[in-house]
Structure 1
């Protein structure tokens, strides 16, 4: 089962020749065609992989240049996209048939092979291409902890074209330990909400500002758009340099934010850190592509840093977390009159909107454990002044913790240590 594994993603640029570039571009184009064809055939009929594959596989093979395994993966991608639409529809959101425009293509262990010499072989619409991974010079680059470790095995990965370069998001997984399996329904939970104004807010009222990162991401995107429109070789070199600066800056901010979240979990002796499902976070937050990458990278950084401390990291459904009152449970659009303010129309409770959402996210995980088939869940949500259970049970923290008004945000600590 997927839940029995810990998943990680290591991103690296590929060094490709002009001939390889043409093959990869053709493969991406055919992949998008194959996914769209499978979606068109299955839309309104079915959404599971086991149903979409037999329905669409033959057509994808006949009408595209994809190989047999990539044709199967395209039907699976279509099934996943349709399932996402159905989930949004069930939560009352408008949906339309998915369209595939992103310059990406999915690979699995049959269509991609990693070699010990830091090269990768990728299937294309014609022949396989073997490209060097553009890894950092230092042997301790973060990719090495997965590439060189026997306990991590390669799983489904994604090739993405961006700014004239090709980036391989290599998926890895390893089996969970017994400790990681046993924290699913017990322990203390830290809820985390991600956003634009505040990059991250915890259920313990810790706020990590996102204003500067948002400003810089938007400025980077303006520069990128102008350089891409120019299209000259000089502009391409400048774009590579700007992208490198952007990546280094953003990773530094996300590194500090992830450290702060894990520190908060340790401070409040939390066993689990819970985020909302990131699948549709770009639509929910009106974020740019840069923010979507930042949210996912932050989640992955928290995941591997928390793991080293024995803390699990989970995701829960995001429906109504921003509109539901964490105090009384009343849910309404009018509860959130502005992006930053939450005012319950039923119980008159007021809070920062992101903080209210963080508490809802954490409590949703707590409730899920208590509603499991075994009903063994005995977890509690960490707040600033104590812990709370779904039935209203509240335990104050010992002397030494700040037990002030729990909706008062605590400013972020400067430069948390690594």
Structure 2
């Protein structure tokens, strides 16, 4: 549990007239997700569902199709409903009267995956893309004594999430930004409060390379997770069957196409959920602090010539991992993927001839290894390099290491073997 102190700063937004409808549409679809989840989870005749993972597994695919929201906003809508249902269940257990949660108040929940919180503006995800809204602030010389100046503009507080609200009478939008103090340490009965200088000097990260052939995900510890080929094969089988039914052209065939499409989507999401669990288990086994992927924009561009399904599986997989680690101490971050497939993870020599499909052989030092495994190590190395050059890490570290099969390696090439117990 994160016990860092929090505060909320309301900020008025200057939303362009042509974009105001986008925010109202976002609210409508967000509340739709919450109310659909509430309908599904609230079951007097059976039992109420209070598991966020079960709700997402059952509803995520349908809600993505029913709305134009990003995955994160759909997940937030599901989570809001499940939290309300859980609260209702607790009231019932205590003998209190309550009813199924229903959401009609104007609000949308954002976090750093669906919004960016900048010094003078925010960008917010909507069904029609990202919207930029300027902050309506007092003059600079008057901000110091305001909540914005004391908290939002302070380096000691980080924006973690926000709730967008609308004042109907004034026709104004407000972003209620929640900030927390990342340097705060909980003082227990046997432990004194730690200062920032006593924070961990070093963290360990797991690099992950995603693929459309061979292993679906390969880690810097040498774990090969899932088969991208079998996933593609399953998709091809579905497409062939759909093609035959489309040629038939009957109403019965059309209904069958809808049915098998829904089953295939459910199967695909279940498969991705399981592979995400496999990756998180590997991260825990390797005792790492973070999981590092390539930038999602690159994933889309890298497989732009492949099917939209392959793009969807890669992006959805990362989103699922992000969602699943929210309740753990793990984090997910992204790096620029440039040349990770061409760089030698052993000596650093970079050349396009180093990689031949799934085989990697360095033209300089002769290092040979599976190409995806080499790329996964480079992804982690790049993140370690960011930290080495002073970029702030998610864990507040001064340095970082990458997890390998039998130990860790830092950005300077210093290897630390895994300590064997007993």
Taking structure 2 as the reference length, the TM-score comes to: 0.57
Match of 1:208 in 2: 225
Correspondence for 2:369 among 347, 351, 354: 351
Distance 2:330 2:108 in 1: 19
Distance 1:244 1:184 in 2: 47
CA distance 1:384–1:300, change in 2 (3 Å):
same
Counterparts of 1:5-404 in structure 2, within 5 Å, are 68-69=18-19, 108-114=22-28, 118=32, 137-139=40-42, 140=49, 141-142=55-56, 143=75, 144-147=78-81, 149=83, 153-154=109-110, 155-158=124-127, 186-196=202-212, 197-210=214-227, 211-227=229-245, 232-285=250-303, 286-337=305-356, 339-372=357-390, 377-399=398-420
Gaps of 5+ in 2: 1-15, 43-48, 50-54, 57-74, 85-106, 111-123, 130-159, 163-177, 185-195
Deviations for 1:57-114, whole angstroms, at most 9, x for unmatched residues?
Answer: 9xxxxxxxxx8228xxxxxxxxxxxxxxxxxxxxxxxxxxxxxxxxxxxx84244323
SS in 2 for 1:279: helix
Q: Which moved more, 1:181-190 or 1:262-271?
A: 181-190
Task: Give how far 1:236 is off.
Answer: 2.9
Distance 1:229 1:135 in 2: 40
Gaps of 5+ in 1: 1-56, 58-66, 71-106, 121-131, 161-171, 402-418
Q: Is residue 199–residue 208 contact of structure 1 (8 Å, CA) maintained in 2?
A: yes
Deviations for 1:143-162, whole angstroms, at most 9, x for unmatched residues?
Answer: 521445589705524379xx
Task: Give how far 1:300 is off.
Answer: 1.4
Q: Is residue 323–residue 333 contact of structure 1 (8 Å, CA) maintained in 2?
A: yes
Distance 1:248 1:384 in 2: 34
Taking structure 1 as the reference length, the TM-score comes to: 0.58
Distance 2:179 2:253 in 1: 46
SS in 2 for 1:109: helix
Aligned CA-pair RMSD: 3.7
Distance 2:223 2:292 in 1: 14
Task: Give how far 1:201 is off.
Answer: 0.6
Q: Is residue 25–residue 127 contact of structure 2 (8 Å, CA) maintained in 1?
A: no
How many residue pairs are counted as aligned between the two chains?
277
SS in 2 for 1:364: helix
Distance 2:323 2:377 in 1: 23
SS in 2 for 1:201: strand
CA distance 1:178–1:223, change in 2 (3 Å):
farther
Distance 2:373 2:183 in 1: 27
Distance 2:208 2:220 in 1: 6
